[in-house]
A and B are shown apart, each in its own frame.
Chain A
Amino acid sequence: AQTVTQSQPEMSVQEAETVTLSCTYDTSESDYYLFWYKQPPSRQMILVIRQEAYKQQNATENRFSVNFQKAAKSFSLKISDSQLGDAAMYFCAYRRPDLIQGAQKLVFGQGTRLTINP
Protein backbone atom coordinates (compact mmCIF):
# COMPACT_ATOMS: atom_id res chain seq x y z
CA ALA A 1 0.00 0.00 0.00
CA GLN A 2 1.13 3.50 -0.71
CA THR A 3 2.09 5.69 2.23
CA VAL A 4 2.95 9.38 2.50
CA THR A 5 5.05 10.77 5.34
CA GLN A 6 5.50 14.36 6.43
CA SER A 7 8.12 14.41 9.16
CA GLN A 8 7.68 18.07 10.17
CA PRO A 9 4.54 18.56 12.28
CA GLU A 10 5.22 22.31 12.49
CA MET A 11 7.35 24.85 10.68
CA SER A 12 7.71 28.60 11.00
CA VAL A 13 9.27 31.24 8.79
CA GLN A 14 9.70 34.98 8.78
CA GLU A 15 7.56 36.89 6.35
CA ALA A 16 9.31 37.33 2.97
CA GLU A 17 11.70 34.44 3.67
CA THR A 18 11.77 31.03 2.01
CA VAL A 19 10.64 27.80 3.62
CA THR A 20 10.77 24.17 2.49
CA LEU A 21 8.28 21.51 3.61
CA SER A 22 9.34 17.88 3.35
CA CYS A 23 7.40 14.88 2.08
CA THR A 24 8.43 11.32 1.36
CA TYR A 25 6.31 8.53 -0.03
CA ASP A 26 6.45 4.85 -0.60
CA THR A 27 5.15 3.15 -3.73
CA SER A 28 6.07 0.36 -6.10
CA GLU A 29 4.41 2.11 -9.02
CA SER A 30 6.42 3.91 -11.68
CA ASP A 31 3.71 6.34 -12.72
CA TYR A 32 1.68 8.42 -10.31
CA TYR A 33 0.72 11.96 -9.32
CA LEU A 34 1.87 13.96 -6.32
CA PHE A 35 0.13 16.99 -4.85
CA TRP A 36 0.48 19.65 -2.22
CA TYR A 37 -2.74 20.92 -0.67
CA LYS A 38 -3.18 23.91 1.62
CA GLN A 39 -5.78 23.90 4.38
CA PRO A 40 -6.28 27.33 5.99
CA PRO A 41 -8.38 27.80 9.15
CA SER A 42 -11.48 27.84 6.97
CA ARG A 43 -10.78 24.10 6.40
CA GLN A 44 -11.12 24.43 2.63
CA MET A 45 -8.69 22.10 0.85
CA ILE A 46 -6.91 24.13 -1.81
CA LEU A 47 -4.70 22.54 -4.43
CA VAL A 48 -1.33 24.32 -4.46
CA ILE A 49 0.67 22.34 -6.98
CA ARG A 50 0.79 18.95 -8.70
CA GLN A 51 3.56 16.87 -10.23
CA GLU A 52 3.33 13.98 -12.68
CA ALA A 53 5.95 11.34 -11.90
CA TYR A 54 6.87 10.84 -15.54
CA LYS A 55 7.87 14.51 -15.85
CA GLN A 56 11.45 15.24 -14.88
CA GLN A 57 10.89 18.98 -14.69
CA ASN A 58 9.86 20.25 -11.27
CA ALA A 59 6.46 21.92 -11.17
CA THR A 60 6.23 25.62 -10.37
CA GLU A 61 3.26 27.85 -9.56
CA ASN A 62 4.24 31.43 -8.88
CA ARG A 63 5.94 31.46 -5.45
CA PHE A 64 5.45 27.71 -4.99
CA SER A 65 7.81 25.13 -6.44
CA VAL A 66 8.63 21.51 -5.77
CA ASN A 67 11.81 19.49 -5.61
CA PHE A 68 10.81 16.08 -6.96
CA GLN A 69 13.41 13.36 -6.43
CA LYS A 70 11.86 10.21 -7.88
CA ALA A 71 14.64 7.80 -6.95
CA ALA A 72 14.62 9.04 -3.37
CA LYS A 73 10.79 9.18 -3.33
CA SER A 74 10.94 12.71 -2.05
CA PHE A 75 8.62 15.60 -2.92
CA SER A 76 9.35 18.81 -1.04
CA LEU A 77 7.50 22.12 -1.38
CA LYS A 78 9.37 25.41 -1.44
CA ILE A 79 7.51 28.62 -0.68
CA SER A 80 9.41 31.75 -1.66
CA ASP A 81 8.74 35.26 -0.35
CA SER A 82 6.42 33.89 2.35
CA GLN A 83 3.28 35.91 2.99
CA LEU A 84 0.97 36.01 6.00
CA GLY A 85 -1.73 34.40 3.89
CA ASP A 86 0.44 31.32 3.43
CA ALA A 87 -0.15 30.32 7.06
CA ALA A 88 -2.03 27.02 6.97
CA MET A 89 -1.75 23.25 7.24
CA TYR A 90 -0.02 21.79 4.21
CA PHE A 91 -0.70 18.25 3.10
CA CYS A 92 1.29 16.17 0.67
CA ALA A 93 -0.78 13.61 -1.28
CA TYR A 94 -0.28 10.76 -3.73
CA ARG A 95 -2.55 9.30 -6.38
CA ARG A 96 -2.27 6.60 -8.98
CA PRO A 97 -3.28 7.59 -12.49
CA ASP A 98 -4.57 4.31 -13.81
CA LEU A 99 -8.03 3.09 -14.48
CA ILE A 100 -8.29 0.21 -12.06
CA GLN A 101 -10.92 0.42 -9.43
CA GLY A 102 -9.95 2.62 -6.53
CA ALA A 103 -6.95 4.15 -8.22
CA GLN A 104 -8.32 7.64 -8.01
CA LYS A 105 -8.25 8.01 -4.25
CA LEU A 106 -5.76 10.39 -2.70
CA VAL A 107 -3.40 9.19 0.04
CA PHE A 108 -2.49 12.06 2.36
CA GLY A 109 0.38 12.69 4.71
CA GLN A 110 -0.18 13.84 8.29
CA GLY A 111 0.31 17.49 7.48
CA THR A 112 2.70 20.30 8.42
CA ARG A 113 1.41 23.38 10.19
CA LEU A 114 3.13 26.46 8.74
CA THR A 115 3.30 29.68 10.75
CA ILE A 116 4.40 32.95 9.18
CA ASN A 117 6.03 35.41 11.59
CA PRO A 118 5.55 39.07 10.68
Chain B
Amino acid sequence: NAGVMQNPRHLVRRRGQEARLRCSPMKGHSHVYWYRQLPEEGLKFMVYLQKENIIDESGMPKERFSAEFPKEGPSILRIQQVVRGDSAAYFCASALGLFTEAFFGQGTRLTVV
Protein backbone atom coordinates (compact mmCIF):
# COMPACT_ATOMS: atom_id res chain seq x y z
CA ASN B 1 0.00 0.00 0.00
CA ALA B 2 1.86 3.03 -1.27
CA GLY B 3 1.97 6.09 0.93
CA VAL B 4 1.27 9.66 -0.10
CA MET B 5 3.33 10.37 -3.20
CA GLN B 6 4.56 13.82 -4.04
CA ASN B 7 6.46 14.79 -7.14
CA PRO B 8 8.77 16.15 -7.99
CA ARG B 9 10.90 15.90 -4.84
CA HIS B 10 12.93 18.87 -5.93
CA LEU B 11 11.87 21.65 -8.26
CA VAL B 12 13.91 24.61 -9.43
CA ARG B 13 12.18 27.54 -11.10
CA ARG B 14 13.35 30.94 -12.27
CA ARG B 15 11.53 33.98 -11.01
CA GLY B 16 8.35 34.54 -13.01
CA GLN B 17 7.88 30.91 -14.03
CA GLU B 18 5.08 28.63 -12.91
CA ALA B 19 5.50 25.78 -10.43
CA ARG B 20 3.20 22.75 -10.36
CA LEU B 21 3.40 20.41 -7.40
CA ARG B 22 1.59 17.08 -7.50
CA CYS B 23 0.22 14.95 -4.70
CA SER B 24 -1.24 11.48 -5.09
CA PRO B 25 -3.07 10.57 -1.88
CA MET B 26 -3.10 7.13 -0.36
CA LYS B 27 -5.51 4.71 -1.97
CA GLY B 28 -9.07 5.44 -0.93
CA HIS B 29 -8.25 8.81 0.65
CA SER B 30 -10.47 11.65 -0.50
CA HIS B 31 -9.18 14.40 1.85
CA VAL B 32 -6.02 16.30 0.96
CA TYR B 33 -4.16 19.02 2.83
CA TRP B 34 -1.31 21.20 1.64
CA TYR B 35 1.23 22.75 4.03
CA ARG B 36 4.25 24.97 3.47
CA GLN B 37 7.44 24.83 5.51
CA LEU B 38 9.84 27.74 5.34
CA PRO B 39 13.46 27.06 6.42
CA GLU B 40 13.80 26.42 10.15
CA GLU B 41 10.06 26.80 10.72
CA GLY B 42 7.09 24.56 11.36
CA LEU B 43 4.55 23.64 8.74
CA LYS B 44 1.86 26.18 7.95
CA PHE B 45 -1.55 25.13 6.65
CA MET B 46 -2.42 26.31 3.17
CA VAL B 47 -5.52 24.54 1.85
CA TYR B 48 -7.83 21.59 2.50
CA LEU B 49 -9.58 19.86 -0.39
CA GLN B 50 -11.95 17.02 -0.91
CA LYS B 51 -12.57 15.50 -4.33
CA GLU B 52 -13.46 18.37 -6.68
CA ASN B 53 -14.04 20.81 -3.79
CA ILE B 54 -11.96 23.33 -1.90
CA ILE B 55 -13.11 23.13 1.72
CA ASP B 56 -10.77 25.59 3.42
CA GLU B 57 -8.26 27.85 1.68
CA SER B 58 -7.73 30.21 4.59
CA GLY B 59 -3.96 29.67 4.50
CA MET B 60 -3.48 30.31 0.79
CA PRO B 61 -1.93 33.58 -0.36
CA LYS B 62 -4.57 35.63 -2.15
CA GLU B 63 -2.67 35.85 -5.41
CA ARG B 64 -0.65 33.49 -7.59
CA PHE B 65 -1.52 30.34 -5.61
CA SER B 66 -4.25 27.87 -6.52
CA ALA B 67 -5.06 24.25 -5.72
CA GLU B 68 -7.27 21.58 -7.17
CA PHE B 69 -8.18 17.97 -6.50
CA PRO B 70 -10.00 16.63 -9.56
CA LYS B 71 -12.24 13.61 -9.65
CA GLU B 72 -9.47 11.69 -11.38
CA GLY B 73 -5.78 12.22 -10.85
CA PRO B 74 -3.59 13.86 -8.27
CA SER B 75 -4.08 17.05 -6.34
CA ILE B 76 -2.16 19.96 -7.83
CA LEU B 77 -0.76 23.01 -6.06
CA ARG B 78 0.01 25.67 -8.64
CA ILE B 79 2.14 28.75 -8.06
CA GLN B 80 2.19 31.30 -10.85
CA GLN B 81 4.95 33.86 -11.40
CA VAL B 82 7.10 32.48 -8.61
CA VAL B 83 9.23 34.78 -6.47
CA ARG B 84 12.21 34.01 -4.23
CA GLY B 85 9.97 34.09 -1.16
CA ASP B 86 8.09 31.06 -2.50
CA SER B 87 11.17 28.91 -1.92
CA ALA B 88 10.10 26.35 0.68
CA ALA B 89 9.18 22.73 1.22
CA TYR B 90 5.58 21.99 0.32
CA PHE B 91 3.94 19.01 2.01
CA CYS B 92 0.78 17.18 1.15
CA ALA B 93 -1.16 15.01 3.59
CA SER B 94 -4.14 12.77 2.89
CA ALA B 95 -6.82 11.27 5.10
CA LEU B 96 -9.56 8.72 4.67
CA GLY B 97 -12.17 10.86 6.39
CA LEU B 98 -12.82 13.71 8.77
CA PHE B 99 -11.86 11.93 11.97
CA THR B 100 -9.04 9.81 10.66
CA GLU B 101 -5.32 10.38 10.75
CA ALA B 102 -3.65 12.34 7.98
CA PHE B 103 -0.50 10.84 6.46
CA PHE B 104 2.20 13.05 5.01
CA GLY B 105 4.15 12.78 1.80
CA GLN B 106 7.88 13.49 1.67
CA GLY B 107 7.37 16.98 0.37
CA THR B 108 8.53 18.95 -2.65
CA ARG B 109 11.38 21.37 -2.12
CA LEU B 110 10.87 24.37 -4.37
CA THR B 111 13.83 26.61 -5.06
CA VAL B 112 13.30 29.86 -6.93
CA VAL B 113 16.44 31.29 -8.51
A residues contacting B by CB (< 8 A) are 4, 42-47, 50, 91, 93, 97, 99, 101-102, 104-111
Say what secondary structure dominates the interface of chain A.
loop
Question: Are B89 and A105 closer than 8 Å at their CB atoms?
Answer: no
Max chain A Cβ within 10 angstroms of own Cβ: one of B45, B59, B89 = B45
Judge whether B106 and A44 touch: CB under 8 Å: yes
Interchain CB contact under 8 A, B42 and A109? yes
Interface size bracket, B side: 20 to 34
Q: Are B106 and A104 in contact (CB under 8 A)?
A: no
Task: Judge if B12 is at the interface, Cβ distance under 8 Å.
Answer: no
Could you tell me if B91 and A45 are in contact, using CB atoms closer than 8 angstroms? yes
A-B contact pairs, 24 of them (CB 8 A): A42-B106, A43-B89, A43-B106, A43-B107, A43-B109, A45-B43, A46-B104, A47-B101, A50-B101, A91-B42, A101-B55, A102-B55, A104-B33, A104-B48, A104-B98, A104-B102, A106-B35, A106-B43, A106-B45, A106-B102, A107-B45, A108-B35, A110-B42, A111-B40
A97 to B102, CA, bound (A): 13
Q: How far is the CA of A104 from the CA of B42 in the complex (A)?
A: 17
> In the bound complex, do residue A104 and residue B41 qualify as a contact, i.e. CB atoms below 8 Å apart?
no
B51-101 residues at the A interface, CB under 8 angstroms: 55-56, 58-59, 89, 91, 93, 95, 98-99, 101
Interface status of B22 (Cβ within 8 A of chain A): no
